[in-house]
Every structure is written in C-alpha cells, then in structure tokens.
Structure 1
C-alpha cells in the first residue's frame, strides 16, 4: 500500500479545508510517511460548543454532494440503494478494497465493532455503516457477501458496489481519490486461494465520514485504523502482508494519524445529539 497525501479536485471542494488539515493520509498501497496533524477538532470561535467535545476528527456542516447521494449501489445481499435513500439515518462511510492487505481489513473490523455497539444500544435502526468499494471491477456482490461473512453479517453494516465510473465519481465528490496501480509481486486471492493474474492495487485515502440524518456531512477523520485489542477474522489476519501486520501492531507508527472503533462511536453519538436524538 502506498501512503500519499490527499489531492482534491473541484468536485471535492466541500471537504477541501477539513481534509487538508491532515497532511498525510493512508491509502491501500505501500509505505510513505503519514505523520502530520492528528485530525483533532479545530478550536474555532465560530464552531458550536458541542463540536469541540468530539475527541478526534473534524466536525462538518456541508450537504452531501449530489454525485455521492445519487450513485446507484448494490449491497452484499443484492439490495439496491443510494446514500440518499438512507436519509433519516446516521450513515458512517469508509472506503473498502477487499483485496487490500494493508489497512482495509482493520477498517472493516473497526466499523463492524461500531455496528455491533449500535446494535447493543438498540440504535442499529438509526445508524448504518456503509463501506463502498474502491474496486468495483473485482468487488462483486458475491465477493462482498463472502467478505461480510468473515466478520459476521450485520443488518446495519453494508458493503456496497456499483458501476466503476459512478463509484469513482462518488468518492471524488467526497474528497477521496483512487488510483489503480500494477503490483509486481504475486498476489493470492483470499476468496479462492488462487494466484491472481495481472494483480493490481487501488490506492486511496483512509477516511471515515459521517452523514447526519438530515443528509448533511457532519464529521470526518483520516488516518490508519487502530484495531488493536480486537481480533480480526483469521483469514484476513493471515492475508495481511508485512506492511499490514505492521499497521495492525503499530497503527500510529511515525506519528501517523489513527482512529478506533470507539472514536467512531463517539462521533456517532455527537451527530445523534446534534440531531436532537440523544
């Protein structure tokens, strides 16, 4: 996995100021420095007092871009949806690449943990965790279904895919760039166990975004997922490469930004309180 800073185009303008506060952002690929700001909420005199109580990440108040809200998606059960169709619920978003060997297994672990916490608090009907792929060419519904089973399927944890061009445009609108790059070393498919012909990786930033029930972007954090203290599915733990094992053991190495499932749970609570549903 290559770590590289966020680069934003006009379509991602709504997130530019806040995403750029994180000088280095992790993505699937291999090993550049991600040291820089930790993504703490800025102490702005114009921000509401509640915004300064979020321990990590940055608070937002921006509309969900139309290119993101209207993208047709299909989840791991074959159900069709859009992000806009989830209006009325808190939506937690993070990129997914099921063939990632460096960070995505830990991202999924953290979101799965947060989804379980929402179910325990009887709020799973009000919060949905969505991982749209950055690799729709390979991440089919069948593959997403198998990936979800590794962690344990949950009704409030959705893995979604769709048309490649529309998915790319959706992520671009959210400030996440994706880049398909060839891989020189052999890669084994975790699903089939077979060697992958013409392997490639998809570089992307590691970002978590929360959309409020009003359809507005309310929180964002960037950095490596910190899944220490949890247990990844055995097959995903074994699928990690050397860099992935380092990221699992030392997510904040070199001063890199990182986030935990608990950080996401606290941000969800903030958004819920903001919506008057505390």
Structure 2
C-alpha cells in the first residue's frame, strides 16, 4: 500500500502491483485553433467583466456553484472553452473496469476529468495516469470526490479489455474511488475521441517487440497518439483542455510494473519533462474552478 497523495505531500508512491490519420489530425488542429481563439476572446472579456460576474465564471455556472469563486486556470496551462457535449457523445455506451455498462451521461451533475490512455503505452500514458491518480486522491481527501469523477478512457479497445483495465487500475494501489478506467467498442472509442480531437494511429511494433505486462503476450502493433486532459462541468459542457503528458512530481515513485515498462523515451519524459507537461496543482486548480471552491494544491500562492 502506498501513500494516499495528501495535499502538500512531497512525494507519492504506489506498490501492490496486484476516419484516416490525416482527417483526425486536421480535426485536432481545427479544435486547437478554435479553442485558442475562443480563449483569447474570453480572456479579453474577463478583464472587464470578472468583477460584475462575481469571479471567473467557472464554479458559478458549473452546476454546483458552491463555495468561493476560484480563478480560472491561465492560458499558459491550457485552453478555456465552453461547448455543450452533444447527446450522442454523452450517451455513447462505455464499459468500466468491472464490466459494467456506463456512459458520460451516467455522471450527470459531476465535474468530469477525462483522459485518453493506453495501458500498454511506455512513453507518456503512465505519466498522465500518475498525475490523474494523484489529482483524484487529493480531491477525494478534500471530501469532494462525490462531486468529481476521473475517467481514463482507452484508445486501444482491442487490448484494453475490462480485465486489462482492472489490472492497470490495481497497480495504483489503493486506487481512488473517484477514478474509473473505461473502454468501448472500436467504433464507439473512435467516435468519442474523434469528437474530442484526440489523434491516434496504429503503427508497427518496435523491435524487439514489447510484451503485455499482464499476460506476457508479445505485442503485434503500437499506437502513436496525442495526450489531452478534458474538463467537463456539471452541465455537460467541455470547459478546459490541457495538452501534453503529465509532469510527474519529483520524488513520485511509480508502481514498479509501470516504472519497469517505460522505454527510454518514457524514462526521459519522467526525468526531464518539457514545458508543455501539466502538473497536479494545475489539475486541482481547474477542478476547483469548476466546483466553485478552491482545492488545496500544495503550492504557495504567488
């Protein structure tokens, strides 16, 4: 059993390993450009309207509206938007790690933190997952877990079965109750991630080929993909997007199976994160903004 990742802790450790590519890339670029333009306009409007609106406008219109107003995360963190998710996206049939049917709509009135994952990724997904789990643990420790759900949804449904996802989740022992790992049919997963603008493409497996850390089966393909974290408010509106892999807090000890599965690129990403990497305090700030009340980030105010 590892650390619970309480606010302000210096380190966290886990044990108990118990369309076409071109079209999808164009969609990513379109969404990024649109989001950046909207964010720029909103930033200008906020300068003149924040006082009259009673704060940043994040928590007050998120569906919870509790507590003090919290400043929205800056444009240096991600892209601020406000898009209502279509009904067909909200009701896409998904399956959780226990084989139970679910959907985004099943979490109505909750703040959702949605991330794309692949349990057999050796470069970036483990870092994103480490940050997602730490953020979820801190939200849970602040007694806000009933208002927030962290959903890590696969881009690799052929291999990320419920059994694989359940084993992946158990690596982060004890997994926070407000963190779920989800899959769906290939068609559902493709539709979901195409809407959100996550790009992924099947490529040949490297040589020598890696093996599934759970089954020992030799892998026959890999997936190149983008990394994003999507924040959805209680009304079902997409409100904030963070691009890039996680900047894992110094001193964090990844689960042994995950750490050993990293390839050379993954180790470099862990030890030398670039400027686009996102942090747990940034995730907590964004969640707090949508909840309408601050969450302890473990950082001193500037």
TM-score by length of 2: 0.75
> Structure 1 residue 104 and structure 2 residue 104: aligned?
no
> Structure 1 residue 248 and structure 2 residue 270: aligned?
yes
Deviating above 3 A after TM superposition, structure 1's stretches of 4 or more consecutive aligned residues are 12-16
C-alpha displacement at 1:14, in angstroms? 5.9
Checking the alignment, whether the CA contact within 8 Å between 2:108 and 2:234 is kept in structure 1 is yes
C-alpha displacement at 1:231, in angstroms? 1.6
Name the residue aligned to 2:161: 140
Name the residue aligned to 1:69: 90
C-alpha displacement at 1:220, in angstroms? 0.7
Give secondary structure in 2 for the equivalent of 1:176: coil
> Structure 1 residue 266 and structure 2 residue 285: aligned?
yes
The alignment's C-alpha RMSD in Å is 2.4
Checking the alignment, whether the CA contact within 8 Å between 1:8 and 1:16 is kept in structure 2 is no
Checking the alignment, whether the CA contact within 8 Å between 2:96 and 2:183 is kept in structure 1 is yes
Q: Distance in 2 between matches of 1:72 and 1:90?
A: 19
Checking the alignment, whether the CA contact within 8 Å between 2:81 and 2:240 is kept in structure 1 is yes
Q: Distance in 2 between matches of 1:175 and 1:81?
A: 21
Checking the alignment, whether the CA contact within 8 Å between 1:75 and 1:141 is kept in structure 2 is yes
C-alpha displacement at 1:9, in angstroms? 3.0
Aligned to 2:35, which of 1, 4, 18?
18
Aligned to 2:150, which of 126, 129, 137?
129
The 5-angstrom pairing of residues 43-122 of structure 1 reads 44-47=43-46, 49=50, 50=56, 53-55=72-74, 56-122=77-143
Checking the alignment, whether the CA contact within 8 Å between 1:127 and 1:156 is kept in structure 2 is yes
Name the residue aligned to 2:254: 232
Gaps of 5+ in 2: 1-21, 51-55, 58-70, 294-302
Further displaced range: 133-142 or 145-154: 145-154
C-alpha displacement at 1:171, in angstroms? 0.4
Q: Distance in 1 between matches of 2:33 and 2:192?
A: 15
Q: Distance in 2 between matches of 1:18 and 1:167?
A: 22
How many residues matched? 245
Gaps of 5+ in 1: 22-40
Q: Distance in 2 between matches of 1:20 and 1:235?
A: 41
> Structure 1 residue 190 and structure 2 residue 213: aligned?
yes
C-alpha displacement at 1:13, in angstroms? 6.0
C-alpha displacement at 1:78, in angstroms? 1.8
Name the residue aligned to 2:177: 155
> When you count helix as a share of all residues, which structure comes out higher?
2
Give secondary structure in 2 for the equivalent of 1:218: strand
C-alpha displacement at 1:53, in angstroms? 4.0
Name the residue aligned to 2:197: 175
Flag the 1:158–1:128 CA change in 2: closer, same or farther, 3 A.
same
